[in-house]
Amino acid sequence: MAEPSLVAAGEEPEERAIEAALRPKNLDDFVGQHRVRKQLSLVLQASRMRGRTADHVLFSGPPGLGKTTLAMIVAAEMNAPLRLSSGPAIQHAGDLAAILSSLSEGEVLFLDEIHRMSRPAEEMLYMAMEDFRVDIVVGKGAGATAIPLELPPFTLVGATTRAGLLPGPLRDRFGFTGHLEFYSVPELELVLRRSAGLLDLKVNSAGFAEIAGRSRGTPRIANRLLRRVRDWALVHGIEQIDSRAASAALDMYEVDKKGLDRLDRAVLEALITKFGGGPVGLSTLAIAVGEETETVETVAEPFLVREGLLGRTPRGRIAMAPAWTHLGYAIPSGVFAQEQLDLFDSGEEAAGAGEWAPEGQ
């Protein structure tokens, strides 16, 4: 999935290698997400004590909050090998059968973007998750026969940015669901301190605070911003990164004080200038900023909603008052008419229904 401009810089091999190096390897090094961490730790500890393969686990939440990292931690904590694949890579049930039939006992299978798996593969997965068995269909038409194949017990770890898109039967087969939340600024400071240590960078407290505050509540972005600040400091011959250096560097990369990046601002800008603040449908909004609907919905929106900049109503998206001010527009009178505010109040639940499913649902 396409990510905002600055984030896409991480596609370079060197950047990807650094990202891998910065991944916490065990639960103790994993910052924040206390509830998920505590619950997961209990699930894993209990299975270790029973000498059993851990229950299937699902992680949901916006990109960059630690889903892949947690999947790797599950395997590490269970001392089990890890197999990586993803929904988009599994287009046919046969693709999945090939993976499942080659799993070893106790192996952890990580399926990223699990909501994008094809229907037939999904149905095969139900049976594999529940009964550790698949039916391999041989032949076509009337002569087709299903050959049952026993699978060793394994742990499926699914990750999705769209928990609401997972069919109920699939969601129900996970023994544990962890929904990841955006990180607080102090938590991001911890992530940055750890990373700076690993990268051997000198940053003072104010420098960490400045970077953390602009990281959109997202560790992946915090780490990327840290590397951009590092580059800036290197070029400017600065030894110790303070808030002024961090601030100057991030201004240059067009990451603003609230942490909004180019896509976030484009979405709000379009809402305000092209649609008078909304409400406008998500797909129309996505076209206006030249992005995929899914990117706008899963990458930009959750953070903008959390920051109170964007509202979801049954009739579409609206720019909230702070969005106008943040982008330097005067809030036109009449835009926040009572009718629109009512819409927002009643709308949040309806629009969010099935979107970010609460834990255990």
Ligand X SMILES: Nc1ncnc2c1ncn2[C@@H]1O[C@H](COP(=O)(O)OP(=O)(O)O)[C@@H](O)[C@H]1O
Of 33, 47, 60, 68, the one binding Mg ion by CB under 5 A: 68
69 binds ligand X (CB under 6 A): yes
Known catalytic residue at 160: no
Residues 31-50 contacting ligand X, CB under 6 A: 31-33
Q: Binds 23, which of ligand X, Mg ion, none (CB < 5 to 8 A, cut-off by type)? A: ligand X
**Number of residues in contact with Mg ion under rule CB under 5 A:** 2
23 binds ligand X (CB under 6 A): yes
Among the listed residues 37, 214, 216, 220, the single catalytic one is 220
Question: Cβ–Cβ contacts within 10 Å for residue 20, how many?
Answer: 11
Name the residue number minimizing CB distance to Mg ion. 68
CB-nearer residue toward ligand X: 21 or 337: 21
- Among the residue ranges 25-33, 267-275, 289-297, 347-355, the one whose residues contact ligand X (CB under 6 A): 25-33
Of 4, 6, 30, 99, the one binding ligand X by CB under 6 A: 30
217 binds ligand X (CB under 6 A): no
Residues 174-203 contacting ligand X, CB under 6 A: 191
Among the listed residues 67, 173, 216, 317, the single catalytic one is 67
Q: Binds 279, which of Mg ion, ligand X, none (CB < 5 to 8 A, cut-off by type)? A: none
- Among the residue ranges 20-28, 200-208, 241-249, 282-290, the one whose residues contact ligand X (CB under 6 A): 20-28
Closest approach of Mg ion to the CB of residue 68, in Å: 3
Known catalytic residue at 55: no
Distances (CA, A) of 311 to 264, 276, 300, 322: 13, 14, 12, 11
Known catalytic residue at 112: yes
Closest approach of ligand X to the CB of residue 180, in Å: 7
What HEC string does the chain produce? CCCCHHHHHHHCHHHHHHHHHHCCCCHHHCCCCHHHHHHHHHHHHHHHHHCCCCCCEEEECCCCCCHHHHHHHHHHHCCCCEEEEEHHHCCCHHHHHHHHHCCCCCCEEEEECHHHCCHHHHHHHHHHHHHCEEEEEECCHHHCEEEEEECCCCEEEEEECCHHHCCHHHHHCCCEEEECCCCCHHHHHHHHHHHHHHHCCCECHHHHHHHHHCCCCCHHHHHHHHHHHHHHHHHCCCCCECHHHHHHHHHHCCCCCCCCCHHHHHHHHHHHHHHCCCCECHHHHHHHCCCCHHHHHHHHHHHHHHCCCEEEECCEEEECHHHHHHCCCCCCCCCCCHHHHHHHHHHHHHHHCCCCCCCCC
Known catalytic residue at 67: yes
Known catalytic residue at 312: no
CB-nearer residue toward Mg ion: 68 or 215: 68
Tell how far CA 9 is from the center of its chain. Answer: 17
Query: Six-digit token pair at 206?
Result: 């104010």
- Among the residue ranges 50-58, 62-70, 248-256, 283-291, the one whose residues contact ligand X (CB under 6 A): 62-70
CB-nearer residue toward ligand X: 21 or 353: 21
65 binds ligand X (CB under 6 A): yes
Residues 115-174 contacting ligand X, CB under 6 A: 159
Instruction: List active site positions.
Output: 67-68, 112, 161, 220
Residues that bind ligand X (CB under 6 A): 19, 22-24, 30-33, 63-69, 159, 191, 219-220, 223
